[in-house]
């Protein structure tokens, strides 16, 4: 791969980091786990906690704009570090369903920036690709596991989506569908880990896009922050797909010239 062929995946990655940052900005401004930690564990007043959240949100937004500049990369790992910290806080202080696995389920949010930095440089591209693969494996595996354990939010998404479409469905049917989906997700994780292909990356991308649609069908445009925060879930398989297609095209061109 040369600089020209890598331009599109790299630029798409930078734009996607900015999209995630916008979601983080909106989340921090509307109240996040960080505010709860500051208030409950550190005795910061509610107003002070909100101000700290807004200040951090502004810093991330600036870093997001910097990440859009092709020749400047140093802001990208800072976004990755921030995403990792928020995943850790959610895991330890989130208090919601399955938040104990947040470091895994949110891994694309910090592996996208870290992987993109490695992908930027010629001698570390392979590390970037492997980080992206790890992110896809982790997010599909953990969501598959959550589905097999009948995650109540996932079941609610299915019920609400079918209700929106005017199709009657019972809770036990939704839970059965959830277990089937969970099995497929774990299969996808295994295939990405042991036998990655254009088809499996395409399927992973399409499925993540479908989950975004399901969120909107379930709760309307109020889910826009949740979708923006989960944008890296879609980006990782898409970039891997584009890189694999670029590689296949390059190999085909080389074989033609050899003939």
Q: Which two tokens stand for residue 213?
A: 């649609």
Q: What angle do CA 81, 86, 88 make, to 5 degrees?
A: 95
pLDDT in tens, 135-194: 999 999 999 999 999 998 899 999 999 998 899 899 999 999 999 999 999 999 999 999
pTM over 0.75: yes
DSSP classification of residue 84 = H
Q: What average pLDDT does this structure show over 124-130?
A: 95
Q: What average pLDDT does this structure show over 205-214?
A: 95
Which residue did the predictor score with more confidence, 64 or 92?
A: 64
Which residue did the predictor score with more confidence, 26 or 122?
A: 26
* Confidence category of residue 41, pLDDT binned at 50, 70, 90: confident
Contact, 159 vs 169, CB < 8 A?
A: yes
CA distance 95 to 102: 11
CA distance 44 to 61: 24
CA distance 153 to 201: 25
**Percent of the chain's residues with pLDDT above 70:** 93
Q: What average pLDDT does this structure show over 42-66?
A: 95
First to last CA, the chain: 21
Backbone angles phi, psi at 170, to 5 degrees: -95, 165
Q: What does the mean pLDDT of the chain come to?
A: 91
């Amino acid at each position: 791969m040369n600089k020209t062929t890598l331009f599109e995946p790299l630029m798409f990655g930078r734009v996607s980091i900015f999209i995630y940052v916008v979601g983080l900005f909106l989340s921090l401004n509307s109240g996040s786990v960080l505010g709860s930690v500051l208030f409950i564990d550190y005795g910061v007043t509610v107003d002070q906690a909100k101000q700290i959240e807004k200040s951090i949100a502004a810093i991330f937004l600036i870093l997001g704009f910097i990440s859009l500049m092709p020749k400047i990369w140093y802001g990208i790992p800072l976004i990755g570090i921030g995403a990792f910290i928020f995943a850790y806080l959610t895991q330890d202080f989130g208090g919601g369903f399955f938040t104990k696995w947040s470091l895994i389920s949110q891994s694309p949010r910090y592996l996208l920036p870290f992987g993109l930095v490695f992908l930027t440089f010629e001698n570390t591209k392979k590390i970037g690709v492997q980080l992206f693969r790890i992110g896809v494996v982790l997010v599909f595996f953990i969501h598959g596991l959550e589905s097999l354990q009948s995650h109540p939010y996932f079941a609610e998404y299915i019920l609400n989506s079918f209700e929106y479409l005017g199709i009657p469905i019972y809770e036990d049917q939704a839970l059965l569908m959830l277990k089937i989906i969970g099995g497929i997700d774990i299969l996808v994780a295994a295939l990405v880990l042991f036998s990655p292909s254009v088809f499996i990356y395409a399927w992973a991308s399409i499925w993540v896009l479908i989950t975004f649609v399901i969120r909107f069908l379930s709760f309307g445009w109020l889910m826009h922050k949740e979708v923006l925060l989960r944008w890296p879930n879609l980006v990782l398989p898409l970039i891997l797909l584009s890189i694999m297609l670029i590689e296949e095209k390059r190999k085909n061109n080389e074989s033609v010239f050899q003939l």
